[in-house]
């Protein structure tokens, strides 16, 4: 089970798994597995594969093996060792996922396929450029408003971002950035946001001798808010 299953291609489109590797996976003698494959071929249960030559790297002897597609490899495993079917299915899924990024290269000697590949690539570039153009105003917006140095009150932050203060506060509460204390209703940052240096808490005493607590937004916090709500601020 530790060995990797090598996946080859019968042609530019079909993934295959060798009978030798299947035998190793399900702990079955390869010659016995080949005979089982040949019986299934004779019955028409699986495709009429032709054996291919395999040279053993240690003894130099040449043996026959079969390259099976996914469907037929699962049938062979189910016929011989049903308890290993799930493991083979899982392994196929892993290998197919690994191959997705590389996919199959187009046949550039074929004019039609080459033209189709060029058109698909051109379309992808067009979509990427359009998305970049849409995002640029948002990026510029953030750059314009993040230069404010020092910490700002929530009201000042709302003015900088041209956003109603009430809306800003409600969004920060909804996003679990701020909460109101049960006693005096002060707005305070959650510890997770405080530790990210998005907010700072200022305490002091007023001229009338009353204690106060005020949550301020740091320069980093203003940038975070601008990024977080950029699409809404641009509307």
Q: What is the mean pLDDT of residues 88-109?
A: 66
Q: What is the mean pLDDT of residues 215-225?
A: 86
Kindly report the average pLDDT of the chain as a whole number: 76
Task: Let me know: does 161 contact 233? Beta carbons within 8 Å.
Answer: yes
141 pLDDT higher than 60: no
185 pLDDT higher than 90: no
pLDDT at 64: 92
Q: What is the mean pLDDT of residues 176-183?
A: 84
Q: Which pairing describes strands 15-18 and 52-55: parallel, antiparallel, or unpaired?
A: unpaired
pLDDT at 214: 87
- Taking the C-alpha atoms of residue 156 and residue 164, their distance in angstroms, rounded to an integer, is 11
pLDDT at 26: 86
45 or 88, which is more confident: 45
pLDDT at 33: 94
The pTM of this model reads 0.39
- Taking the C-alpha atoms of residue 119 and residue 124, their distance in angstroms, rounded to an integer, is 9
At a CB cut-off of 8 Å and minimum separation 6, what does 75 contact? 40, 45, 46
pLDDT at 31: 93
């Amino acid at each position: 089970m530790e060995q990797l299953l090598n996946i080859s291609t019968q042609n530019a489109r079909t993934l295959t798994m060798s009978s030798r590797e299947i035998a190793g996976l399900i702990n079955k003698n390869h010659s016995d597995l080949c005979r089982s494959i040949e019986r299934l071929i004779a019955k028409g249960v699986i495709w009429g594969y032709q054996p291919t030559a395999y040279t053993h790297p240690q003894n130099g002897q040449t043996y026959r093996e079969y390259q099976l597609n996914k469907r037929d490899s699962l049938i062979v495993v189910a016929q011989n060792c049903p308890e290993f079917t799930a493991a083979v299915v899982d392994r196929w899924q892993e290998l197919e996922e690994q191959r997705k990024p590389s996919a199959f290269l187009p046949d550039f000697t074929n004019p039609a396929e080459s033209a189709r590949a060029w058109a698909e690539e051109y379309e992808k570039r067009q979509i990427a450029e359009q998305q970049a153009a849409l995002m640029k105003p948002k990026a510029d917006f953030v750059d314009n408003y993040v230069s404010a140095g020092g910490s700002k009150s929530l009201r000042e932050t709302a003015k900088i971002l041209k956003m109603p203060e009430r809306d800003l506060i409600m969004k920060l509460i909804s996003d679990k950035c701020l909460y109101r204390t049960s006693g005096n209703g002060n707005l305070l940052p959650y510890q997770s946001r405080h530790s990210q240096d998005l907010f700072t808490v200022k305490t002091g005493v007023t001229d009338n001798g009353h204690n106060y607590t005020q949550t301020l937004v740091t320069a980093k916090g203003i940038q975070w808010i601008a990024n977080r709500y950029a699409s809404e601020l641009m509307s």
